[in-house]
Structure 1
Amino acid sequence: MESLLEVKNLSVSFDVYGGEVQAIRDISFEVNKGEAVAIVGESGSGKSVTAQSIMRLNPSPPSRFKGGSIKFEGQELLSLSEKEMQKVRGNKIGMIFQDPMTSLNPTLTVGSQIMEGLIKHENMGSDKAKARAIEMLDLVGIPNSSTRLKQYPHQFSGGMRQRVMIAIALACNPSLLIADEPTTALDVTIQAQIMRVMKELQQKMNTSIILITHDLGVVADVCDRIIVMYAGRIVETGTKWEIFQNPQHPYTRGLLRSLPRLDQKKDEALIPILGTPPDLIKPPEGCSFCARCDEAMKVCVNNDPNLYAIKGSDSHRAACWMLHPCANREVPV
């Protein structure tokens, strides 16, 4: 498959009063055309910073790129000026933010907010932009679109506001859609509807998707590949079937054990991951998950593992010393 986005050795830090927060530490991944990729992990693992770094939305200062590369359609985004980057945002790369109530402008109608990008990026007149906005509201499943176009965000439910955000993000037919926790504030039935809308739109428009979430459960039906992040690093990556059926990193297994299952017995409790993530002002020298890992070894304390390829797979890799050829240990499933 042809690569659309290439992130290589990216490191991003925030200079704060207490020191340097190393939010992203040397991560690399790709997103292919028409592919849906999920980035999962706990709060503070670096998921949203990764998404905002791709869009160049992190304020500087306090943020700064320490190294690495972000290439979109072969173009280096980190070398673009702010004016050049504005031509990419909303046009070639769309983004759905976490909370639609705070992301939408309460003083403007939803129609004017959808039309704004079309007028700016597509050079459409107001009549043509309005027709396109109505078409987008129909596409994301909002009934009476011509009437709803004139309404304000507070007149919509949470699920409908999120659909409006999707319509805004997809109005200019972007090649890449970044969805940052798009279902966090919604109940499970609305979550399922939003994820179904995103899947249908991906198939219709062949848009690549990066889905940022802390919940592995919402990605199973939508994404092709999963990237698991912890403490600013990628600890495991593979297809969704490899991650769900054969997780290789202790952190990934912990995330899956903490999810409710349909075959779970009534008296069977969920198993949480004990402890807390490390302080990224002073990250550990070795494996970042070492202090919370039941399978930690001496080598884990002072040595950070590489991403090791899993036997029998071209796409599955995990950063765990138990996967080193010299470990000679079976990884539990």
Structure 2
Amino acid sequence: MEKVLEISDLHVSFKTYGGEVKAVRGVTFDLYKGEILAIVGESGCGKSVTAQSIMRLIPSPPGRITSGSVLFKGMDLTRLKEPKLRKIRGADISMIFQDPMTALNPTLTIGEQIIEGIMQHKPVTRQQAKKTALDMLDLVGIPNPLERLKHFPHQFSGGMRQRIVIAMALVCQPEVLIADEPTTALDVTIQAQILDLFKEIQKKTGVSIILITHDLGVVAQVANRVVVMYAGKIVEAGSRREIFYRPQHPYTKGLLNSVPRLDLEESELVPIAGSPPDLFSPPAGCPFVARCAYAMEVCDRAYPDKTHLSKEHHVDCWLQDERAIKMRVHVR
């Protein structure tokens, strides 16, 4: 498969009054053409910072990319000058932010906001841009798009605003779409509609999608591959089937066991005990060591090597070492 995006050994830090927060620590993954890649993990694990770093959207100061590369069409986005980056943002790589209300300008109509984005990146007339905007609103399921172009964000429901944000992100036909928690503020019914919309758009346009979420139910419905992050690192990655049916890292198992199960009688939520590590001073070994029921002495001293279990499935865990006692815990 063709690689669209290559992130290699990405490190991102934030300088604060209390010290340097090492938010992303050596993240490496690839995005392939036409796939949906999900990045999952609990709040504060570095998902959104990773996504924003791809487009160089982290505020600087205090944030900065200390090392690593983000390759797109042979260009390292971490080294590009701002004028060149502005041509790529929105045109080649687009992003959907968490809250659709704050992503839209409340003082401008929907039509003005979408048309402005088209004319910024495409050599078209205003009339041509308006037609493109109408076609995109129709694609994302906005009824009566000609009339709705004249409306302001507050005149739309939360689900409709999310559809408009998706339309704005796709209107210039980008190759990569980054969706940061796109269903968080929506009720369950609207979430399902938005997820169906993602799958439909992906099939029609062939766009490659990075989906940032903590909702494993969302991942199970749409993702082709899954990356599991914890304390700024990728601890496990694999196909959707491998992560859901053959998880190997104790953190991945903990995430799956903490999801409500409606298909099992008297199923109980099993929370992950403890708290994430302090990223002002990250541990030298596995960051999950303090919360892991299977932690060994070596886990606290050194970070584990990456173990490849299949072409797509890999995990960073000392339990994969042949000298370790194998876990006898299975996700129900």
Q: TM-score per shorter chain, which class?
A: over 0.9
Structure 1, 234-243 or 277-286: larger mean CA deviation = 277-286
Render the CA deviation track for 1:110-157: whole Å, top value 9, x for unaligned.
Answer: 111111111010122111111111111100001011111110000000
Render the CA deviation track for 1:176-221: whole Å, top value 9, x for unaligned.
Answer: 0000000000011111110110110000000000000011110112
Cα offset for 1:330? 4.7
Q: In the alignment, is the contact (CA less than 8 A) between 2:294 and 2:327 conserved in 1?
A: no
Distance 1:4 1:101 in 2: 30
Distance 1:165 1:175 in 2: 17
- For residue 282 of structure 2, what is the aligned residue in structure 1? 283
Distance 2:46 2:5 in 1: 18
Render the CA deviation track for 1:50-83: whole Å, top value 9, x for unaligned.
Answer: 0000010011111111111100122111111011
Distance 2:73 2:40 in 1: 24
Mapping of 1:161-240 within 5 angstroms? 161-240=161-240
Are 2:322 and 1:325 equivalent residues in the alignment? Answer: yes
Mapping of 1:1-20 within 5 angstroms? 1-20=1-20
Cα offset for 1:328? 5.3
Cα offset for 1:306? 2.3
Are 2:16 and 1:22 equivalent residues in the alignment? Answer: no
Q: Specify the SS of the correspondent of 1:44.
A: coil
Which structure 2 residue ranges, 5 or more long, are not aligned? none
**TM score, norm. by length of structure 2:** 0.97
Cα offset for 1:268? 2.8
- For residue 139 of structure 1, what is the aligned residue in structure 2? 139
Counterpart amino acid of 1:211? L
Are 2:156 and 1:156 equivalent residues in the alignment? Answer: yes
- For residue 271 of structure 1, what is the aligned residue in structure 2? 270
Counterpart amino acid of 1:149? L
Counterpart amino acid of 1:170? L
- For residue 254 of structure 2, what is the aligned residue in structure 1? 254
Distance 1:13 1:317 in 2: 25
Structure 1, 319-328 or 37-46: larger mean CA deviation = 319-328
- For residue 314 of structure 1, what is the aligned residue in structure 2? 311
Distance 1:260 1:72 in 2: 38
Q: Specify the SS of the correspondent of 2:237.
A: strand
- The alignment's C-alpha RMSD in Å is 1.0
Q: In the alignment, is the contact (CA less than 8 A) between 1:248 and 1:331 conserved in 2?
A: no
Are 2:45 and 1:45 equivalent residues in the alignment? Answer: yes
Cα offset for 1:285? 1.4
Q: In the alignment, is the contact (CA less than 8 A) between 2:261 and 2:267 conserved in 1?
A: no
Distance 2:165 2:76 in 1: 27
Distance 1:264 1:242 in 2: 21
Mapping of 1:46-65 within 5 angstroms? 46-65=46-65
Q: In the alignment, is the contact (CA less than 8 A) between 2:308 and 2:315 conserved in 1?
A: yes
Distance 2:305 2:205 in 1: 37
Q: Percent identity?
A: 59
Counterpart amino acid of 1:316? H
Render the CA deviation track for 1:270-300: whole Å, top value 9, x for unaligned.
Answer: 1111111111001111110011111111111
Are 2:133 and 1:130 equivalent residues in the alignment? Answer: no
Counterpart amino acid of 2:326? R
Structure 1, 94-103 or 73-82: larger mean CA deviation = 73-82
Distance 1:125 1:215 in 2: 41
- For residue 93 of structure 1, what is the aligned residue in structure 2? 93
**TM score, norm. by length of structure 1:** 0.97
Cα 1:60–1:288 change in 2 (3 A) is same
Distance 2:272 2:147 in 1: 48
Cα offset for 1:331? 5.6
- For residue 109 of structure 2, what is the aligned residue in structure 1? 109
Which structure 1 residue ranges, 5 or more long, are not aligned? none
**In the comparison of the two structures, how many residue pairs are matched?**
330
Distance 1:278 1:148 in 2: 47
Cα offset for 1:260? 1.2
Distance 1:131 1:119 in 2: 12
Distance 1:329 1:59 in 2: 43
Counterpart amino acid of 2:66? K
Counterpart amino acid of 1:210? I
Cα offset for 1:307? 2.0
